[in-house]
Amino acid sequence: MTINEEEDVEALDISKTILKPDFIKNHCILVITGEDFFQLDNKKTGKTFEKWVEEQTGKFAELVRECGNRVVQFDNRTEDKDKQQAQLDRLLTEVNKLQQTNGVYTDENFERAKALRERQKSEAKGAVIEEIALEEFRLLLDKVLYSEHNDLPDASSRCAQLIISLEKSNKDGKLDGFVGNLKVLKEIIDNTFRVVQTLPEEGDKRRKLTQMKLDGQIHRMHDHVQSLEQVYNELKWRQRALKGELVSAAALGMVQANMIGAVTFLAPGAVVLAPLALVSSFVLMAAAVVVVVVAAVVVVVAELVVVVVAAVVVVVTVL
């Protein structure tokens, strides 16, 4: 068995970030489906499931140890009622042990997660505004560098609009330096255009002096644009880093919206978990490892065995 180094490990890390670093250690049970395949594969050798778990290595072995070896095997294809009940009983036994030892995942933990989500939602909104502003800023820099002098009034107007937009969204003050640089750029643009306007009115001698002044203004403007390009690049990197954090925010949104998730045993060979799609896009194969955060209540609905959990769930495909 292997765990995908990038996707599966990242999903587990995100879960720890959202729900608490020790939530897997203190509140999780591994449910491994595909017992029927396991029995077929090991029919000749007679290897037990417990022995097989002991032989595993790598990230899966680390996950087993982190869960305190709380591992339960399920045949999710079986229609045998007695076997279904026996499987449920094994899981309930682990649930009871876990509750007696570590208790259930508390409201305090969810309040902590809620606060994290609100912060990330605020940052996500800011990131969208910032992305629009950065694209407008990039266009503005190009206009200043490559347009004719007659285009400077338009550049000044766009710069003013961008400043107003950023000042409205800059509630946390993170863009103060950026806005300040834009104001300096607008001042340089305006001064440059004023010099351009005086050129036709000057005599030959004064025209040369004015042209020198204009050249100086243009040089200053280009230097400032280059420094702003560096600011632009730094903000783009910051924005990309923030987009990475939004994965956590999305997963956290799932937790808040799906406080109750259900593990339902269905044929053919799949374990379906209600909030699963929002945590990971992993495909559920006939055999999979399911990490479940255990809560207090377990129910049986009709002919389907349902384990109700206040949980976030991660599925790791068995290879």
Taking Cα atoms as reference points, which of 93, 94, 88 lies closest to residue 75? 88
Cβ-contact 95, 72 below 8 angstroms: no
Taking Cα atoms as reference points, which of 54, 63, 57 lies closest to residue 12? 63
Cα–Cα distance, 126 to 178 (Å, whole number): 14
- Cβ partners under 8 Å of residue 254, min gap 6: 275, 278, 279, 312
**pTM as predicted:** 0.38
pLDDT at 259 over 60: no
- Beta bridge mates, 317: 288
pLDDT digits (tens, 9 = 90+) for 129-168: 556 666 777 677 776 666 666 777 888 888 888 888 888 7
pLDDT at 27 over 70: yes
